[in-house]
Amino acid sequence: MKTKDRIIAAACELFNEHGERAITTNHIASHLGISPGNLYYYFRNKEQIIRAIFDQYEEYLSAAYGPDNQTEGLMQDYLDKMFQGMWRFRFVYASLSDILARDPELHKRYLKSHHQVMNTAIENLQQMIDHGAMKIDPAMLTPFAEGIKMVVTFWISHLYTQNLDKPITESMVYQGVVQILAMFHGYITPQFKPEFDRIVAHYSDLASDISQPQAE
Amino acid sequence: MKTKDRIIAAACELFNEHGERAITTNHIASHLGISPGNLYYYFRNKEQIIRAIFDQYEEYLSAAYGPDNQTEGLMQDYLDKMFQGMWRFRFVYASLSDILARDPELHKRYLKSHHQVMNTAIENLQQMIDHGAMKIDPAMLTPFAEGIKMVVTFWISHLYTQNLDKPITESMVYQGVVQILAMFHGYITPQFKPEFDRIVAHYSDLASDISQPQAE
């Protein structure tokens, strides 16, 4: 891996583990065993590193939430990608208002990419409706999608408010997927119910994974 | 009003308007036309002022979300109190993870009071079920209440992520109430539907109040 990419990857890892506010460029350099000067050759400051991570985040969002032509497994595939983004970029979600308030340029990019995420979320929900998997008052479709997006966006912050000194684990993030499934519950059709129940059981298992620290 | 109470009220107002991070004890003293020394006589630092506001927040939560024996108007009464808390303490919601991370004592208090809020929320939902206003799979009651609590807790942060340089207005906060009503939609019984629709119309009006700046 090139030094530049190693810096981006290490920064993301350290931000995720210790919180973005607690980590300086010196921590990142020291973690990689390079000099601060070497890091400054690639990035002038922490904000530039955050922007580089944001590039990856945007790339991830457009790939994960892009238009999808499959029907079989659509819901599980979507939830897997949702989880992956929440876990991989959890510091972005944990410090979202901070990061956006500090960098108006990033804020603009955030608004744009999340507008696209909402549009494809609604398209995907419409696909589920068209295939008879769910039934919802058309006027409720957008507020429903917004509610789901809110849970996805703030689940990590929610975990931080709920846990005192406990690290955030993958199974805690999966609890967010289960929370999202609970929101679907009232709108699932009888014919999709067995598959839906299987999906709920799948993520409930992951959410209570006994290999995770908090259950030890 | 006593100087101590004036300091608390002014701090809450300034935090709400400019964000908690942007306001120092000097700003608060200057806003009140008192000397920093006079402020320090009552509060040693900003954290102490935040704790005093938190006392009021806790008091508000236990009064607003306490057990309620009325049935008529229960939902609207509950939503009004919800809105009032979101608006009055909006800086708490906007900077929640920051504030809690800085003060473990407050974090403990937050967890305790929000545990109580969840319990009474579930009791109130159960009351709506008992009176035939809503119908929900018993296993879904807690996740549903958690979903609502998440929207209430993070609606203000959501507004900050969605608005670039635009102040948060009351009608924007009412949009959160409408979002919560959208989550109820699938669980309302036919007999409660007319009253529910009236409530939705009421808050939709408030959410699009033309006297609010963003609609001008």
Domains annotated for chain B, with CATH where assigned, are: 1-44 (1.10.10.60), 51-215 (1.10.357.10)
Predicted pLDDT at A216: 38
Identify all chain A residues contacting B160, using CB atoms and an 8 Å cutoff: 97, 100-101
Q: Alpha carbon of B2 to those of A24, A135, A214, B89: distances in Å?
A: 43, 57, 47, 21
Predicted pLDDT at B198: 96
Confidence of residue A21 (pLDDT cuts 50, 70, 90): confident
* A214 has a pLDDT exceeding 60: no
Confidence of residue B133 (pLDDT cuts 50, 70, 90): very high
Predicted pLDDT at B4: 96
Residues 6+ apart with CB under 8 A from B13: none
Identify all chain B residues contacting A189, using CB atoms and an 8 Å cutoff: none
Interface of A with B (CB under 8 A): 19, 94-98, 100-101, 104, 107-108, 110-111, 114, 136-137, 140, 143-144, 146-147, 150-151, 153-155, 157-158, 160-162, 164-165, 178-179, 182-183, 185-187
Identify all chain A residues contacting B154, using CB atoms and an 8 Å cutoff: 150, 153-154, 157-158
Nearest to B100 by CA among A203, A117, A192, A94: A94
Contact call for B137 and A110, based on CB within 8 A:
no
List the Cα angle B54/B59/B63 in 5-degree steps.
Answer: 145
* A215 has a pLDDT exceeding 50: no
Tens of pLDDT along B26-83?
A: 999 999 999 999 999 999 999 999 999 999 999 998 887 766 656 667 889 889 999 9
Q: List the single residue in A with minimal CA-CA distance to B163.
A: A111
Predicted pLDDT at A71: 60
Strand partners, A134: A188
* Alpha-carbon gap: A15 to the closest alpha carbon of chain B (Å): 15
Q: Do residues B102 and A160 make contact, with C-beta atoms less than 8 angstroms apart? A: no
Confidence of residue B186 (pLDDT cuts 50, 70, 90): confident
* A136 has a pLDDT exceeding 50: yes
Residue predicted with more confidence, B134 or B213: B134
Can you tell me the mean pLDDT for B6-33? 95
Identify all chain B residues contacting A155, using CB atoms and an 8 Å cutoff: 150
Predicted pLDDT at B215: 41
Distance CA B54, CA B50 (A): 6
Q: Alpha carbon of A123 to those of A58, A61, A126, A131, A185: distances in Å?
A: 19, 15, 5, 12, 19
Can you tell me the mean pLDDT for A74-91? 92
Predicted pLDDT at B216: 38
Q: List the single residue in A with minimal CA-CA distance to B158.
A: A150
Distance CA B124, CA B126 (A): 5
Identify all chain B residues contacting A104, using CB atoms and an 8 Å cutoff: 164-165
Predicted pLDDT at A211: 55
* Alpha-carbon gap: B108 to the closest alpha carbon of chain A (Å): 8
Average pLDDT, chain B: 90
* A69 has a pLDDT exceeding 80: no
Tens of pLDDT along A145-181?
A: 999 999 999 999 999 999 887 889 999 999 999 999 9
Distance CA A171, CA A166 (A): 13
> Which of B100, B143, B146 shows the shortest C-beta gap to A161?
B100
- Token readout for B185 is 């939609």
Identify all chain A residues contacting B157, using CB atoms and an 8 Å cutoff: 96-97, 154, 157
Predicted pLDDT at B68: 61
Predicted pLDDT at B213: 52
Distance CA B69, CA B73 (A): 11
Lowest mean pLDDT among A72-81, B80-89, B102-111: A72-81
* B107 has a pLDDT exceeding 70: yes
Predicted pLDDT at A67: 64
